[in-house]
């Protein structure tokens, strides 16, 4: 006759194992991902090259790293999320489109106003030529006082180096007046026209002058 006996519990008080041995542990004793760590759980860790080290994780299962971590041989381009502050010194080349300080402005319409332009002054020129009658003595020319005078030109037309001194509305002297060298002249027009009589003084009687007035 035969007798079938099922599994029997075996209890060993002390077992000595020599060499390398592995002990299979069922998943129920090792708990599951996300469950509370059991009182007698398995130890998971890694080697630092010399010693066995535990691996810590946060509540989301991410590995917790303390201290500094050296990361080498990264690719040249990295994706960074968030705000990055970079301190830059020296000159940084910038390319793109830049606008000048002065910008063109277009207007739909321009303000308008009425401008009145009067007739330009015109008239007949009176030409006067002459020579001082007495050397070193002021001589009154034929250009006498003219309150309606619109233009006045006086020129020393002497070919030599003689200098004449002009006075308009006053008698010139050797130290007072407008001195004109040979070929030089003076013109009054536009906003200010003197109306006084024109006097001429020269150290010699060989000096010649021209006066144009309107």
Closest by Cα among 124, 184, 194 to 154: 184
Query: What is the Cα gyration radius of the chain?
Result: 59
Q: Output b/e per residue, 133-149; b: 16+ Cβ within 10 A.
A: eeeeebbebebeebeeb
Strand partners, 52: 47
Give the three-class secondary structure for 47. Answer: strand
pLDDT tens-digit series, residues 121-163: 677 899 999 998 899 999 999 999 999 999 999 999 998 889 9
- Where do the structural domains in the chain lie, given as residue ranges? 126-213
Mean pLDDT confidence for 10-25: 64
Is the domain spanning 126-213 CATH 2.60.120? The answer is yes
* Pairwise CA distance, residues 123 & 136, whole Å: 35
pLDDT tens-digit series, residues 37-72: 666 555 667 777 888 777 778 888 788 877 666 667
**Does residue 115 surpass a pLDDT of 90?**
no
Name every residue whose Cβ is closer than 8 Å to that of residue 148 and which is 6 or more positions away in sequence: 195
């Amino acid at each position: 006759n035969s007798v079938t006996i099922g599994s029997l519990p075996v209890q060993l008080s002390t077992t000595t194992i020599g060499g390398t041995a592995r002990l299979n542990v069922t998943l129920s004793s090792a708990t599951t991902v996300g469950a509370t760590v059991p009182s007698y759980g398995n130890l998971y860790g890694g080697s630092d090259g010399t010693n066995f080290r535990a691996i810590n994780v946060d509540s989301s299962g991410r590995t917790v790293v303390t201290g500094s971590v050296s990361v080498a041989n990264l690719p040249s381009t990295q994706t960074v999320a968030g705000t990055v502050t970079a301190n830059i010194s020296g000159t940084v080349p910038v390319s793109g489109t830049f606008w000048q300080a002065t910008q063109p402005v277009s207007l739909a319409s321009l303000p308008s106003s009425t401008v009145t332009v009067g007739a330009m002054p015109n008239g007949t020129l009176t030409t006067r030529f002459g020579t001082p009658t007495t050397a070193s003595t002021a001589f009154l020319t034929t250009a006498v006082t003219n309150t309606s005078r619109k233009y006045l030109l006086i020129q020393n037309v002497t070919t030599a180096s003689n200098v004449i001194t002009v006075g308009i509305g006053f008698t010139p002297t050797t130290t007072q007046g407008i001195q004109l060298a040979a070929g030089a002249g003076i013109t009054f027009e536009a906003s200010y026209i003197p109306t006084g009589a024109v006097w001429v003084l020269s150290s010699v009687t060989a000096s010649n002058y021209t006066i144009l007035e309107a």
